């Protein structure tokens, strides 16, 4: 799919597309809530310890909310590409006013977003890195490693692909059994849903090269901390 047209603007900067995505988010988040909580639990902070973290490609802030709920002393800086998603995120996070700030930022643009700490205590990303081609993934991991404070952690929750069609088939079979409506949804997408799906899978890549990118960036403690079928939480820390 990497040779198909880039549709990020068409999907994520469309008022209609974002509104439809937000309207159906509740069902998706019910399946993801525990995964986001696990990512928060992996952060090595005391319950009331003050710390700052950056949520890259933050969307409407679901991953940020999990961290803010878990750690009373956490302050979030959310970097997001879409003004429409930022507007929805500010509404979704209104109960956390004073503990978060949004910055408009394109992960593929390079550089480090102005308005967020240059040395955050942690960086997270959730269901966004797969939108980047592999060379941008590698550049992003290098950038994160360079900005994290010593001992700071980076964790990413994302889908991955497999080069083995037998594995891909097993993932789909199990996924359909876990979600009896999945096959019907797959075969009866609206044009808008098909556009979002094509955008979603365009740059999804296997897990092993992404772990290698972390190693090349000289993270330590690199591991796949959770995996279910084609979704993973992986990461590591900048050496202390």
Burial of 110 (0-12, 13-18, 19+ CB in 10 A): exposed
Residues 6+ apart with CB under 8 A from 28: none
- Are the CB atoms for 161 and 168 separated by under 8 Å? yes
pLDDT value of position 3: 57
Tens of pLDDT, residues 113-154: 888 999 999 999 999 999 999 999 999 999 999 999 999 999
pLDDT value of position 226: 98
pLDDT value of position 4: 61
Per-residue pLDDT tens digits of the chain, which is 240 residues long = 555 667 776 767 777 877 887 777 777 777 889 999 999 999 999 999 999 999 999 999 999 999 999 999 999 999 998 999 899 999 999 999 999 999 999 888 878 888 899 999 999 999 999 999 999 999 999 999 999 999 999 999 999 999 999 999 999 999 999 998 888 888 998 888 888 888 888 899 999 999 999 999 999 999 999 999 999 999 999 999
pLDDT value of position 9: 67
Instruction: Give the CA radius of gyration of the chain.
Output: 17
Domains present along the chain, CATH in parentheses: 8-164+198-237 (3.40.50.150)
pLDDT value of position 15: 78
Across the beta sheet with 231-237, what order do the strands follow?
Answer: 100-104, 74-80, 51-56, 122-126, 153-159, 231-237, 220-228
pLDDT value of position 181: 87
pLDDT value of position 144: 97
Residues 6+ apart with CB under 8 A from 36: 62, 63, 65, 66, 126, 157
Cα–Cα dist 75/176, whole Å: 38
Residues in the chain: 240
Cα–Cα dist 132/56, whole Å: 12
pLDDT value of position 235: 98
Pairing of strands 74-80, 153-159: unpaired
Q: Roughly how many angstroms between the first and final C-alpha of the chain, as a whole number?
A: 39
The strand pairing partners of 232, in sequence order, are 158, 227
pLDDT value of position 8: 72
């Amino acid at each position: 799919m990497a040779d198909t047209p880039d549709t990020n603007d068409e999907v994520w900067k469309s008022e209609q597309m974002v509104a439809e995505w937000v309207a159906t988010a509740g069902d998706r988040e019910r399946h993801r809530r525990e995964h986001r909580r696990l990512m928060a639990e992996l952060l090595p902070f005391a319950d009331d310890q003050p710390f700052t973290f950056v949520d890259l490609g933050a969307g409407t802030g679901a991953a940020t909310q999990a961290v803010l709920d878990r750690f009373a002393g956490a302050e979030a800086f959310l970097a997001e590409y879409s003004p429409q998603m930022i507007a929805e995120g500010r509404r979704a996070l209104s109960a956390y006013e004073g503990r978060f700030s949004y910055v408009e930022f394109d992960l593929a643009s390079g550089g480090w977003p102005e308005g967020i700490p240059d040395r955050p205590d942690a960086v997270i990303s959730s269901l966004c890195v797969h939108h980047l081609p592999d060379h941008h993934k590698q550049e992003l991991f290098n950038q994160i490693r360079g900005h994290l404070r010593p001992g700071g952690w980076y964790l990413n929750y994302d889908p991955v692909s497999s080069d083995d069609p037998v594995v891909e088939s097993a993932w789909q079979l199990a996924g359909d059994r876990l979600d009896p409506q999945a096959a019907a949804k797959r075969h009866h997408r609206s044009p808008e849903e098909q556009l979002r799906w094509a955008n979603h899978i365009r740059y999804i890549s296997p897990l092993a090269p992404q772990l290698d990118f972390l190693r090349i960036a000289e993270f330590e403690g690199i591991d796949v901390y959770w995996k279910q079928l084609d979704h993973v939480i992986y990461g590591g820390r900048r050496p202390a």
